[in-house]
Amino acid sequence: MKSSATVMRKRILVAFIALIVVFSALGGRLFYIQIIDGAELRSKAGEQWYRDLPLKAARGKILDANGVVIADSKDVFTLYARPNAVVDKASVAGEIAEALGETYETVFDKLSKSVGEVTVKRKIDADTAYALREKDIAGLYFTLDTQRNYPFGSSMSQIVGFTNIDNIGQSGIESYYDKYLTGVDGYAYTSTDIAGRETDDTATRYVPSIPGCDVTLSIDSNIQAFADSAVHTAAAEFSARAAQMIVMDVKTGGILAMAKSPAFDLNDPPRNDLDLLNELSRNTLVVDMYEPGSTFKIFTTAAAIEAGVVTDNDSFFCAGSRTVDGQRIRCWRSIGHGSQHLAEGVKNSCNCVFMDLALRLGTSRFYDALETFGLGAKTGIDFAGESSGMLMKEENVKTVDLARIGFGQAVAVTPLQLITGVCSIVNGGTLYRPYLVASVDSYDGKNLATRDPIAVRRTVSEATSARMREYLRGVVESGGGSKAGVAGYAIGGKTGTAQKYAGGGGIAQGKYISSFIGFAPADDPKYAVLMIVDEPQGYMYYGSLVAAPYAGDVFEKIFDYANIAPSEDVGVEYTFMPDVIGMTAQEAVAALEKQGLGVELIGDGKIIAQTPIPNARVKVADTVLIRSE
């Protein structure tokens, strides 16, 4: 039998070993907590000891080409409450509700929450915030926030875009360049007790915010104002579905203006109607495509000249239509243009001439040229959602399709594609990538990036470009584009009138897209203007009458703004509009042409209406409209 002393020693040894194990476990746990997990636990403790309030960073400015502010940020405030620190919740809720225009119940519910901190309201204007802060109510705290401000209101609304309540870009430049415009938020740290109340020895520490970068556009706000006026006036005058305009720098691809009517105020977007907001904020000049009609004839002519399939001396005959693949395709002038050379065909916008040119080129050469002009592909502009337009698959193109493409049917382009391609034809033959942002700078003025013009490829030779400028100048001087002319200045351009299609693919009766594209000065182009009026109401729907005058108005304002002196004697010759009501179409055309006027004729019977009215004074070479029964 073991002695009691031996048993005791064993018990002591077991107890000692147990103590060693316990203390080792405690030491290991302490080491893990202090060394291994210490940083994370200290962080969690800090979250309980401190309250951090965000200091929102100011979003970068958006500026025009002249440094004029288009979008900036104004100071607003966010009101927070620490419910445990609010002594008389009922009374405080009443004061807050009255000051902020909120309901008492909404504020009281927030102050009654069992949380350390609650957001009462955001985007409070400075005056209201200062007035409420002077009351020095325990448990209430304000932090500085920012809210986007757009000094130009509805101007450029589809380009600039807007942000959400958290100042995150939702559309336009605000969205595309969001990562540059967004700054880095800061914080204010304050020590508190377990109930969320500030301690007596509290010291607030600040981590300052860093403002976002400033973005400078190629847009000139003055030229933009000219374009805005044109589209809003045109839309109202013709009760149109929409009117829109692009002004481009011919030599760089920079967008000088993009305007659309209807528009919306960027300071008050219709956020409660998402369908309306999406419709109004669509930059259709970039994202939508349409059948261009006669403005497309510029591409056909340039392609034919460049390929050498036509000369100035070639003669074309128009009897009012062509029959291709057994289908009769009408010229817009049903009585025909008769015999004409290429320059006359361009000036007359004769469909038959452009059918002939397309057929001479053939599908392969014509398609190669169209792709060189950038059609059927995105331009690469710095804007989201760009469309590539639409060309029929080359292998599916029939002869009749080719003929129609020649004068702008059976093809779809975006307005941006059209003006970009035309600029390449008249600037000497260089296709530039269009752009909206010219530079990005840090908030302290350091330049981070500057965009140089990007030449994509050559489209036509210098010789072809010079001939095209001459032909298109003739269109404005004595052809269908005369209403875009400005006395004393050389302008080139082309009108377009395209029928629209219904949902089933058939022609939508009475619905047209009226357009004009022009450039100036004609001998050395700097500015290009594309004006589009969608579904003008009434019988005046030709691009020469609906779109061209507004392009001319914008050109005239640009000449004044840019101090471009006239190149010619500004003397203007006038005549009087004869009374042609009751005449046959042929008689009326002859009478008007005798007066030196261009003619847009609808129908081929007896004349029942004319614009302008009889005996009105009109410029010689202006285009007038007559309508027959």
- What pLDDT is stored for residue 43 in this prediction? 56
Look up residue 290 and give its two tokens.
């349409």
Work out the average pLDDT over 75-103.
86
9-31: pLDDT as tens digits: 777 777 778 788 887 777 767 77
Give the count of beta carbons closer than 10 Å to the beta carbon of residue 314: 16
**617 touches 576 (CB < 8 A):** yes
d(CA 321, CA 344): 17
Active site residue 294: yes
- What pLDDT is stored for residue 202 in this prediction? 54
Phi first, then psi, for residue 489 (nearest 5°) are -125, 145
Look up residue 90 and give its two tokens.
């009922």
Q: SS3 string of 422-460?
A: HHHHHCCCEEECCECEEEEECCCCCEEEECCCCEEEECC
438-486: pLDDT as tens digits: 999 999 989 999 999 999 999 999 999 999 999 999 999 988 899 999 9
d(CA 479, CA 495): 10
**280 touches 261 (CB < 8 A):** no
d(CA 559, CA 565): 7
d(CA 177, CA 154): 20
**267 touches 153 (CB < 8 A):** yes
What is the full DSSP assignment across 290-336? B--GGGGHHHHHHHHHHHT---TT-EEEESSEEEETTEEEE-SSTT-
Kindly tell me the sign of the dihedral angle through the C-alpha atoms of 530, 160, 176, 255.
Answer: positive
Question: What is the pTM assigned to this prediction?
Answer: 0.83
Tell me which of 294, 465, 515, 628 is the catalytic residue: 294
> What is the average pLDDT value for the chain, to the nearest integer?
89
Work out the average pLDDT over 264-272.
92
d(CA 91, CA 601): 77
- What pLDDT is stored for residue 40 in this prediction? 64
Work out the average pLDDT over 553-579.
85
Work out the average pLDDT over 114-119.
81
Q: Give the neighbor-by-neighbor strand order of the sheet with 623-628.
A: 598-602, 623-628, 607-611
Work out the average pLDDT over 23-41.
69
- What pLDDT is stored for residue 252 in this prediction? 98
- What pLDDT is stored for residue 617 in this prediction? 75
- What pLDDT is stored for residue 243 in this prediction? 97
d(CA 341, CA 474): 13
Share of the chain above pLDDT 90, in %: 59
- What pLDDT is stored for residue 166 in this prediction? 86
d(CA 150, CA 442): 20
